Structure 1
């Protein structure tokens, strides 16, 4: 005779209770996900999405955020000027005319002087690794968020390039006097410095630069990395491409979100956006550096006049910069606070780089 197995009712009841609890937790979690609001967000961009390692970054980020949130947060990037011009993106986000932007915060330098410190840095200053170390592990992120909180904006570091070229010029630059009377597009603190040597500075967005060169409105321009500059066609008009990028050792791009919109996201959605941007920043830097080497090889092979600024020019510029910075520190408390933080960080970090890396 086959005996029926003995049932342990205590274990059976315990199992039911456990299963019920798990089911309840699963349902609760599902309810939270279902309860999260869906967002369809227009993103005003400062860069054409055809620009490699610069404008194409926001397309990748938007795709990743959509996948990671299972479609709850969807961002559609609009080309520069389609929603608002590149230089006005943060103002539009502040006023919630557009909920999100992807931009270079240095465009705000006229009304937010310290913005350039977290988007381009200082001449002869941070390179990409030092900047992201300061941003994520130092005071950078908190200071950047505080700076833009007053403008109803939450900034998220979402892209990073290495140094720019020192510009494309119609004529050779052999001494510091060659900047005198030169009409040049030159952004950030480097532009203010060149003004001290007689240059006439403008800060046009990238989409307007080729036309300005072609019309003779400007004699020279800097903008971004070699692959972006070539995509914009500067080499067709200005044959001399100078290095190194003394004025801007990194270019940081930020996703800027209206704070009311940011606060309406769930904790999970905010975490996904932050994580996508953090991972994207690393990947963007890797892509930009990879493409820069390829483009430089092509430029040299195609006869671009690749030149290096003389040590005398670089030393003269570096010696003159502290006076430009001192004026900014005196005029703006936020600028002074961020410079102090960057200096403190650099003084410590330099103790490592001075011995840890081969001096090139």
Structure 2
């Protein structure tokens, strides 16, 4: 994958030893009883999900009376930003703050636990995850790789992306080089787009250097500080590829199992509270940010129906191809689709739209 780093042997051994010592060393007076080193994919200053990791750590420390501490490390400080979940699986670090899509090079089915093109809103996605079998399937897959996953953040629809030129027809996608995340990238490739899943800190430079023609990243609130509008003025919606997105805390399974039941409960409760905060913040701020972008000359665009139809048809092709190629994807998608079919009865009757 373009933009990915590699994990050297010396770094692996050093980080693994440091993590082990930090976790097992006896606590001195006034020192935390348990300290977990967390490699983050997202900068701590990033709105919503970057700040979410910091707030999660604060909640855990407060609830545990300072006995349980998560030390959040900036992207690249321990391991490359795109490799944080892999580093947990490999035993290099105690924990990671990322999304399941960053682990999808191991198995494309992991994408389903992060975001799904033309997928559900936050409430429906959460319902499948917690009451429809999604989390049980995800846990089995992560546990098999030595990782315990805890959903800890959930955000509303993302933007569809920043483009240097106006896109009027699906054919206008052909030949573009674009940063794109997860399963949505497979859809864009159907239209002749060359995709890369770059970590956030690498995107703007790639745009400035001409290595990318377009990019998607996240919510307007999270996109704004990166300055994408300095190189691309057309900002498209809706984010068909990520109508709702989960972010997780990933803890090495052996570390998780060694925690006391109380420590595990503190982490779980703090994650639930952080989900509440990220939903509220993600919904509250977008209007203000979009108005400010318009004042700077950003052209807000909504995809015409014919492009959304073409994207949806391409997504259905991707589902068939991934299901044929990967039994895990087929199993996860079947669970997801069956839940959505049952849910649709309630959605059709209970909601205004």
Normalised TM-score (structure 1): 0.88
The whole-number CA distance in structure 2 between the counterparts of 1:173 and 1:69 is 51
Stretches (4+) displaced over 4 A: none
Aligned CA-pair RMSD: 1.3
Gaps of 5+ in 1: 1-33
Name whichever of 216-225 and 141-150 sits farther off: 141-150
Match of 1:104 among 89, 99, 103: 99
1:1-360 aligned within 5 A: 38-121=33-116, 123-359=117-353
Report the number of matched residues.
Answer: 323
CA contact (8 A) 2:38 2:70 kept: yes
1:338: Cα distance to partner?
Answer: 1.1
CA displacement, residues 190-235 of structure 1 (integer Å, 9 cap, x when unaligned): 1111111111111111110000000000000000000111111101
CA displacement, residues 29-77 of structure 1 (integer Å, 9 cap, x when unaligned): xxxxx9xx91111110010111111211010000110111111210111
The whole-number CA distance in structure 2 between the counterparts of 1:268 and 1:334 is 33
CA displacement, residues 108-167 of structure 1 (integer Å, 9 cap, x when unaligned): 22222111100012x111121111111111101111111101110000000111111010
1:298: Cα distance to partner?
Answer: 1.6
1:302: Cα distance to partner?
Answer: 2.7
The whole-number CA distance in structure 2 between the counterparts of 1:45 and 1:313 is 35
CA displacement, residues 258-277 of structure 1 (integer Å, 9 cap, x when unaligned): 00000010111101101110
The aligned counterpart of 2:21 is none
Normalised TM-score (structure 2): 0.89
User: Any idea what SS the aligned residue of 1:254 has?
Assistant: strand
CA displacement, residues 73-103 of structure 1 (integer Å, 9 cap, x when unaligned): 1011111011111211111111221101100
1:184: Cα distance to partner?
Answer: 0.5
User: Any idea what SS the aligned residue of 1:155 has?
Assistant: strand
The aligned counterpart of 1:25 is none
1:250: Cα distance to partner?
Answer: 1.2
CA contact (8 A) 2:119 2:244 kept: no
CA contact (8 A) 2:180 2:217 kept: yes
Gaps of 5+ in 2: 1-28
